[in-house]
């Protein structure tokens, strides 16, 4: 009587987490300095001092009863106001507090949006490569999960492939930019093309196709690039944000969903998100962390560290003969397995204590993800092992 899907998801674990656990165990045997763990996308840079200072103040709050009390399910009113104002200032949107639903990071935002918009028989379509847990959040609802691979040269969306995958059952398209694992930022032209296609298909099918825009890496972009704000181009967008990466609080689980009033069936969508939050066991998001981020909106960890890592690592891997997507955002390199077999590539890397994640898990075989949110010394120290790997492939 125990649901098989949960047993299987529980036993399967996540490849990323399992590799990271292997790395931790291996470090005990050969020393942490000899394991080049590039598996987990956990920030290596401290939260902004403003956030830390706010946390210290809250921890010393003279009224801990009020501070740690139950917050409203959708979030503290003043926090939701500040988030809406921040979005409006930044992107010219017109959210108000009622349009913001605070979540336990991106993961719960994604799970709630999937629950709120998908039913058995529906399809959720993710632009690949994508974060592996998308599949579980979609399938959890009884819907089908499908994916459409980007163009593997430019890493831009393959519009013909996207159009071919859309069906009458498509209820949700999941887009992640800056992208995990490729580091690619979706450009404005691509957003406009996708919006145009989905608008046409929504009209053709007689029901809205919503976009879930998953943007935990929005601020992690390099070279002065701008990340288009998808809701400006496509009102039927549920914008999901997380503070995990931008202010380095991944364990503390804080983020939000923004839903614009010009969205189709706005009231029902909002109610369904709230209802899903209730049914999936979410009572409220930590008031301590809601208050910590609300007063420091726009502050970001020192991403110059990631930028330096990115330049160094990208250049060195290219010099060694590897092919790599040039990442404009996030903190990942997506490296091509020289012979196309990414699982074998990761296995061979592991023999040299280089821990990287096969792209297969991200819907993109043939590549491997290297998380460079690590101390730069780890990158430097890993280069001889990458050199040996390159030589093994005859690069």
Question: For residues 185 and 282, what is the distance between their CA atoms, to the nearest angstrom?
Answer: 31
* 58-117: contacts with a second copy (CB under 8 A): 58-60, 64-65, 67-73, 104-105, 107-112, 115-117
Instruction: With CA atoms as reference, report the closest residue to 371 among 15, 31, 11.
Output: 15
* 202-221: contacts with a second copy (CB under 8 A): 207
Does 336 interact with a second copy (rule: CB under 8 A)? no
Q: 156-195 mask for a second copy (x: CB under 8 A)?
A: ---------------x------------------------
Q: Which of 252, 328, 360, 361 is close enough to bind a second copy by CB under 8 A? A: 252
Does 265 interact with a second copy (rule: CB under 8 A)? yes
Residue 388: how many other CB atoms lie within 10 Å: 15
Estimate to the nearest angstrom the gap between the alpha carbon of 381 and the chain centroid: 28
In whole angstroms, how close is the CB of 346 to a second copy at the nearest point?
20
Q: Which is nearer to a second copy, 90 or 264 (CB)?
A: 264
Does 270 interact with a second copy (rule: CB under 8 A)? yes
Joined together, the tokens standing for residue 326 give 């040039």
In whole angstroms, how close is the CB of 281 to a second copy at the nearest point?
3
In whole angstroms, how close is the CB of 51 to a second copy at the nearest point?
9
Does 287 interact with a second copy (rule: CB under 8 A)? yes
Q: Which is nearer to a second copy, 178 or 287 (CB)?
A: 287
In whole angstroms, how close is the CB of 187 to a second copy at the nearest point?
29
Q: Which of 165, 233, 286, 307 is close enough to bind a second copy by CB under 8 A? A: 286
Q: Which is nearer to a second copy, 104 or 310 (CB)?
A: 104
In whole angstroms, how close is the CB of 149 to a second copy at the nearest point?
24
Q: Which is nearer to a second copy, 67 or 160 (CB)?
A: 67
* 120-159: contacts with a second copy (CB under 8 A): 122, 133, 136-137, 139-141
Q: How far is CA 102 from CA 16, 125, 240, 282, in A?
A: 26, 24, 10, 11
* 34-53: contacts with a second copy (CB under 8 A): 40, 42-47, 52
Does 10 interact with a second copy (rule: CB under 8 A)? yes
Answer for the pair 188, 228: CB distance below 8 angstroms, yes or no. Answer: yes
Tell me the site size for a second copy, rule CB under 8 A: 87
In whole angstroms, how close is the CB of 241 to a second copy at the nearest point?
15
Answer for the pair 372, 332: CB distance below 8 angstroms, yes or no. Answer: yes
Q: Which is nearer to a second copy, 279 or 380 (CB)?
A: 279
3 state SS for the chain: CCCHHHHHHHHHCCHHHHHHHHHHHHHHHHCHHHCEECCCCCCCCCCCHHHHHHHHHHHCCCCHHHHCCCCCCCCCHHHHHHHHHHHHHHHCCCCCHHHEEEECHHHHHHHHHHHHHCCCCCEEEEEECCCCHHHHHHHCCCCEEEEEECCCCCCCCCHHHHHHHCCCCEEEEEEECCCCCCCCCCCHHHHHHHHHHHHHHHHHHCCCCEEEEECCCCCCECCCCCCCCHHHHCCCEEEEEECCCCCCCHHHCCEEEEECCCCCCHHHHHHHHHHHHHHCCCCCCCHHHHHHHHCCCCCCCCCHHHHHHHHHHHHHHHHCCCCECCCCECCEEEEECCCCCHHHHHHHHHHCCEECEEHHHHCCCCEEEEECCCCHHHHHHHHHHHHHHHHHCCC
Q: Which is nearer to a second copy, 151 or 168 (CB)?
A: 168
Q: Which is nearer to a second copy, 198 or 249 (CB)?
A: 249
In whole angstroms, how close is the CB of 116 to a second copy at the nearest point?
6
Q: Which of 7, 25, 225, 395 is close enough to bind a second copy by CB under 8 A? A: 7
In whole angstroms, how close is the CB of 393 to a second copy at the nearest point?
32
Q: Which is nearer to a second copy, 273 or 303 (CB)?
A: 273
Does 1 interact with a second copy (rule: CB under 8 A)? yes
Q: Which is nearer to a second copy, 222 or 289 (CB)?
A: 289
Sign of CA dihedral 140, 145, 149, 150: negative
Does 15 interact with a second copy (rule: CB under 8 A)? no
In whole angstroms, how close is the CB of 345 to a second copy at the nearest point?
25
């Amino acid at each position: 009587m125990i649901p098989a899907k949960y047993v299987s998801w529980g036993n399967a674990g996540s490849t990323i987490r399992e590799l990271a656990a292997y790395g931790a165990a291996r470090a005990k045997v050969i020393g942490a300095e000899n394991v080049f763990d590039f598996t987990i996308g956990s920030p290596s840079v401290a939260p902004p001092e403003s956030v830390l200072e706010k946390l210290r103040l809250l921890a010393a709050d003279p009224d801990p009863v009020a501070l740690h009390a139950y917050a409203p399910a959708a979030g503290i009113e003043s926090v939701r106001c500040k988030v809406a104002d921040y979005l409006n200032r930044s992107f010219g949107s017109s959210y108000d507090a009622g349009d913001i639903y605070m979540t336990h990071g991106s993961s719960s935002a994604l799970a709630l949006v999937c629950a709120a918009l998908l039913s058995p028989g529906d399809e959720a379509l993710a632009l690949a490569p994508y974060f592996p847990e998308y599949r579980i959040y979609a399938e959890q609802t009884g819907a089908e999960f499908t994916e459409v691979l980007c163009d593997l040269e430019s890493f831009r969306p393959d519009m013909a492939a996207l159009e071919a995958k859309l069906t009458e059952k498509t209820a949700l398209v999941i887009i992640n930019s800056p992208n995990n694992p490729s580091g690619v930022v979706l450009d404005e032209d691509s957003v406009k093309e996708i919006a145009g296609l989905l608008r046409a298909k929504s009209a053709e099918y007689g029901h809205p196709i919503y976009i879930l825009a998953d943007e935990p890496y929005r601020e992690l972009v390099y070279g002065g690039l701008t990340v288009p704000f998808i809701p400006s181009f496509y009102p039927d967008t549920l914008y999901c944000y997380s503070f995990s990466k931008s202010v380095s609080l991944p364990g503390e689980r804080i983020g939000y969903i923004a839903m614009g009033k010009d969205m189709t069936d706005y009231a029902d969508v909002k109610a369904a998100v709230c209802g899903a939050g209730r049914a999936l066991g979410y009572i409220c998001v930590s008031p301590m962390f809601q208050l910590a981020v609300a007063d420091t909106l726009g502050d970001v960890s020192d991403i110059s560290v990631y930028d330096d890592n990115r330049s160094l690592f990208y250049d060195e891997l290219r010099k060694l003969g590897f092919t790599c997507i040039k990442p404009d955002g996030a903190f990942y390199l997506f490296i091509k397995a020289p012979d196309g077999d990414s699982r074998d590539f990761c296995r061979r890397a592991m023999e040299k204590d280089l821990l990287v994640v096969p792209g297969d898990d991200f819907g993109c075989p043939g590549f491997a993800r290297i998380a460079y949110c690590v101390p730069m010394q780890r990158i430097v120290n890993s280069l001889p092992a990458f050199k040996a790997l390159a030589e093994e492939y005859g690069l």
